[in-house]
Amino acid sequence: MTYTAVMAQDSITVTKNDTWADSTLINVQKNRLGYKKLLVPAAFIGYGVASLGFKDIKQLNFSTKNEIDEHKPDHIKLDNYTQYMPALLVYGLNGIGIKGKHGFADRSFIYATSQLISAGFVVPLKRLVKEERPDGSNRQSFPSGHTATAFSTAHFMFKEYKDDHFWLGLSGYSFAVFTGVYRTLNDKHWVGDVAAGAGIGILSTELAYWLYPKINSLFKRKKEQSSTMVMPFYQNKAVGLSFVRNFR
């Protein structure tokens, strides 16, 4: 932020250059958390919550499990890795020159924030709800943490590439869907758990992008430094002093 005051004879002119503030305002406006961005995650989370208590919706959990048990698909561990694939793709694509919306430091901060928010939802809910897993291994089924991670990373990839590489940005959701489906096929989660996990994942990333410019502006303000410079000048037969103060 720069203020310049010019004093000559009887006049004083003050100008303001606030490029940083303008860019911060633009970033905040672009990352507004409108209700439209919340519709999809709210629908997924709402369905997941409803599956815990509404008989007709909960029945779909049991009918899906019965169908899976009838076909007895092989249990695989690939879903432990596919949950992270969209995030790895973002860094890999940037590495080969297909740039996303943010640079390395900024996107890393956003991604870390999304994962913290996701864990902040998932871990307490598992302990609070105490829903038994389909395989009976424990009572931490709701919501699906793997699915939350998968959809948070997929939505992270979408947000980074949707403006310049829309279809590429969408491709991350294929890994998220695969992860969610195999959490049920591996007998680790009910359909409602997976739906809630997907909603939490998307919501977490939306919150991370919304919070980023706000948190970033706080850090920048703390690092602000100021300097003052006074210079004499002669212009149009007038003698005066130029006063410049910089806020960085």
Structure tokens of 106? 């900024």
Closest CA to 45 of 182, 151, 153, 179: 151
CB 174 within 8 A of CB 152: no
CB 183 within 8 A of CB 193: yes
Structure tokens of 111? 């991604």
Residue with token string 């999304």: 114
Structure tokens of 95? 């590495």
pLDDT (0 to 100) of residue 23: 45
Q: How confident is the model over 221-230, as a mean pLDDT?
A: 56
CA distance 210 to 221: 18
CA distance 195 to 201: 10
Domains of the chain: 36-222 (1.20.144)
Q: Higher model confidence: residue 194 or residue 7? A: 194
Q: Higher model confidence: residue 235 or residue 163? A: 163
Q: Work out the pLDDT band at 221, boundaries 50, 70, 90.
A: low
Q: Work out the pLDDT band at 191, boundaries 50, 70, 90.
A: very high
pLDDT (0 to 100) of residue 60: 93
Q: Higher model confidence: residue 114 or residue 216? A: 114
Q: Higher model confidence: residue 1 or residue 58? A: 58
Residues 6 or more apart whose Cβ sits within 8 Å of residue 38: 203, 206
Q: How many helices (H) and strands (E) does the chain have?
A: 10, 4
DSSP state of 74: P
pLDDT (0 to 100) of residue 220: 72
CA distance 153 to 55: 32
Closest CA to 159 of 114, 117, 124, 121: 114
pLDDT (0 to 100) of residue 11: 43
- State what percent of residues in the chain have pLDDT above 70: 76
> Lowest mean pLDDT: which of 12-26, 34-48, 205-219?
12-26
Q: Work out the pLDDT band at 57, boundaries 50, 70, 90.
A: very high
Average pLDDT, the chain: 85
Closest CA to 247 of 214, 230, 224, 218: 224
Q: Work out the pLDDT band at 222, boundaries 50, 70, 90.
A: low
Q: How far apart are the first and last CA of the chain?
A: 6
pLDDT (0 to 100) of residue 6: 42
Residues 6 or more apart whose Cβ sits within 8 Å of residue 97: none
Q: Higher model confidence: residue 232 or residue 65? A: 65
Helices assigned H by DSSP within 3-136: 19-30, 35-53, 55-71, 79-82, 85-95, 104-129
Residue with token string 């359909």: 191
Closest CA to 143 of 156, 129, 160: 129
Q: Work out the pLDDT band at 218, boundaries 50, 70, 90.
A: confident
Work out the widest C-alpha separation in the chain, in whole angstroms. 96
Q: Report whether pLDDT(120) > 80.
A: yes
